[in-house]
Structure 1
Amino acid sequence: MAYAQTQFDSFHNTILFGYESSKELRERREALLCDLKNNISADAPAYETFYQGSYALDTGVTPLDGNPDMDIGIIFDCAPEDYSDPLKLKKFVRDALVRHNRTVDIRRPCVTVTYYRDNVATHHIDMAVYSINGNNQTNIAWCRESTPLEEREWVVSEARELTKKITDRFDGTDRSQFRRAVRALKRWRDEHIGHKNTPSIGLTVAAHKWFSPRYDATDGKARDLIAIRDLIQQMLNNWGGRLTVNLPVAPYSDLFERMSDKQMTSFKTSLEALRDGLNEAEQQPDTHEACKILRKQFGEDFPVPEKVDTTKQTSAGLSVSGRSA
């Protein structure tokens, strides 16, 4: 059997996007927060910021289009009823950040700052605007500038609680394997799913719900191939007419609800192909051949070693980590 763990590790190191190691994005982040502090209107309430999304979860993947992003939350010290028109707070943020070297757009879930080089977007930072309701829940400002006043709304969205819940699900080597599996799934999605209705957070929460760490029972080494394969099987086992993955925090919405029935059917077919490919790779006696199969699923960044270096004895024993929560 070929588990290709060395190649999975190499693949992960290639595709991971480490925000703290990205000097340019880190500098942009600091500049934005500084501009927000210095330029925001005196009429705006006090605020605090926090990191959310893949940045906070440490599950970022280098995008195939070369345009990485970062998500920042801005919690204003006010209640939703203090600003019945949430667009007003989003305009405070937008107006504080407008400068010549970037575009700043108010989108429905956030204020997006995009940077360009030679008229090509190089990276962007999404800044979500929140208030806090009487139940101490964060509410996100949900509207564009073009949204009619009566349709602008505050929507309960517990982003900080989601980060904590996902991060606390595993620890130690289990958490590391969880993050590798999530990154691998994200890159697989980018390679095989041709629309945006299969969001990264949907895959991440599916992993939070159904992922189990896998290690070799003999030497204790990680077996990412088995862990990812078993996760996919769990997703397929829990398929009804559709795959439903609800947020584990308010508003508890289905993260795949925007997928059409046709997209959902295609998604299932692709997941089955991934599962079958992982099974086929595991059964290969030679790592070279296994990695050729895995590359078809995960893309050109998945390494295929020279054939002469790949045939090694492996253990068939596997165990589920007892450290998982």
Structure 2
Amino acid sequence: MAFAQTQFEKFHTVILLGYDENSELRDRRDTLLKDLKDRISPDAPTYSHFTQGSYALSTGVTALNGNPDMDIGLSFNCSPDDYEDPLTLKKFVSDALTRTNRTVTIRRPCVTVTYLKDGEPTHHIDLAVYSSNSDDQTQLARGRDCDPKAERVWEASEAKKLTDLINNQFKDDDSNQFRRVVRALKRWRDEKIGHKNVPSIGLTVSAYQWFSPSYDSVEGKPRDLIAIRNLVDKMLANWNGLRLVVELPVASYADLFERMTQIQMVDFKSKLESLRDALNEAEGQPDTHEACKILKKQFGDDFPVPEKTDTTKKTSAGVSTSGRSA
């Protein structure tokens, strides 16, 4: 059996994206927050900021298209009732951040700041605007300039609560494996899915619900191949008729795959089945070199393939899927 654990960990080191791995994006973030503080209208209410999305969850991956992003939440100290049109707050943010060296766009869920080099985008930062209602539930400002007033709305969205839930779901080595598995699935998605309707948060919440840590029962070493395979099996087993439905565990409780067309959903399922089969085939290989050749076809060129002469070794067959103590 070939588990290719060393290669999975090397792969993770190559694809992971976090604060320490992208100093330019981190510096841009700090500059944006300073500009916002210094230039926002005095008519705007006070606010605090927090990191959300993959940076807050430590599940970011390097972008294949070279255009990484970061998500920031801006929590304004006001009630949604104070700003019936949430676009007002988003314009405060947009006006403060507009500069000649970047483009600022008000999108429905956020304000996006994009940085360009030679006319091509290099990275972008999304700033989501929130306030809290009388029940202390955070509400997201949705709407653009071109939207009619009826479509400029406040929508329940508990980004901080979601971050806390996911970050506290697993501990220590289990948490580390969880993040490796999520990052591997994201890179697989980028390699294999030819559209943008399989969102990263959908894969992350799928793992939040169905990931089970896997270790060698003899030596206690992690087995990422088995953990990924078992998660994919769970996703396929939870297909609801023609679709996979994965709901946010916090408000707005939306189906994270709802934007996928039926054709895209069929393709998604087929690609997951191919991934499962490849993982099973790789596990059955006696040679890690051959196993990694199979895995590379799924995860892309960043997945390492060791020299054949170094990989024909006896491996332990004992695997536990319920954590180190099992």
Shorter-chain TM-score category?
over 0.9
C-alpha distance after superposition, 1:297-325 (max 9, x if no partner): 0001001111001111111111134479x
Shift of 1:164: 0.3
Paired position in structure 2 for 1:168: 168
TM-score, with structure 1 as normaliser: 0.98
Aligned 8 A contact 2:114 2:125 in 1: yes
The alpha carbon displacement at 1:21 in A equals: 3.1
1:282 corresponds to: 283
Aligned to 1:270: 271
- Counterpart check, 1:149 vs 2:146: no
Q: Structure 1 323/96 Cα, relative in aligned 2: closer, same or farther at 3 Å? A: farther
Provide the C-alpha distance between the structure 2 equivalents of 1:194 and 1:46, rounded to a whole number of angstroms: 42
TM-score if structure 2 supplies the norm length? 0.98
- SS of aligned partner of 1:21: coil
Query: 1:217 and 2:221 equivalent?
Result: no
Report the Cα distance in structure 2 between the residues aligned to 1:240 and 1:230, rounded to whole angstroms.
18
Deviation at 1:120, TM superposition (A): 1.2
Question: What's the C-alpha RMSD, in Å, of the aligned pairs?
Answer: 1.0
Structure 2 residue 119 is the aligned partner of structure 1 residue 119: yes
Deviation per CA, 1:64-118, whole angstroms, max 9, x where unpaired? Answer: 0011100000010111111000000000000000111100000010000011111
Cα separation, 2, equivalents of 1:137 and 1:166: 18
Q: Percent identity?
A: 67
- The residue that corresponds to 2:89 in the other structure is 89
User: What is the alpha-carbon distance in structure 2 between the residues aligned to residue 303 and residue 322 of structure 1?
Assistant: 26
Distance across 2 between alignment mates of 1:21 and 1:322: 29
Q: Which residue of 1 aligns with 2:102?
A: 102
Amino acid at match of 2:145: E
Matched, 1:55 2:39: no
Contact persistence 2:220–2:324 (CA under 8 A): no
- Corresponding residue number in structure 2 for 1:26: 26
2:298 equivalent in structure 1:
297
Structure 1 unaligned runs (5+)? none
| 2:240 alignment partner, SS class | coil
Partner residue of 1:243?
A: 244
Quick one: which amino acid aligns to residue 246 of structure 1?
A: E
> What are the Cα deviations for residues 20-79 of structure 1, in whole angstroms up to 9, with x where unaligned?
332211110110000000000000001000000001000000010011100000010111
* Letter paired with 1:54: S
Q: Distance in 1 between matches of 2:301 and 2:321?
A: 30
Name the SS for the 2:105 alignment partner: strand
Q: 1:145-164 CA deviation, whole Å, 9 max, x = no partner?
A: 11111211000000000000
Q: Which amino acid aligns with 1:285?
A: P
Contact 2:217 2:324 in 1 (8 A): no
- Distance of 1:150 and 1:231 partners within structure 2: 41
Separation in structure 2 between the aligned mates of residue 261 and residue 101 of structure 1, nearest angstrom: 41
Question: Displaced runs of 4+ in structure 1, greater than 4 A?
Answer: none
Q: Mapping of 1:31-42 within 5 angstroms?
A: 31-42=31-42
1:291 and 1:302 in contact (8 A); partners too: yes
The equivalent residue for 2:200 is: 200
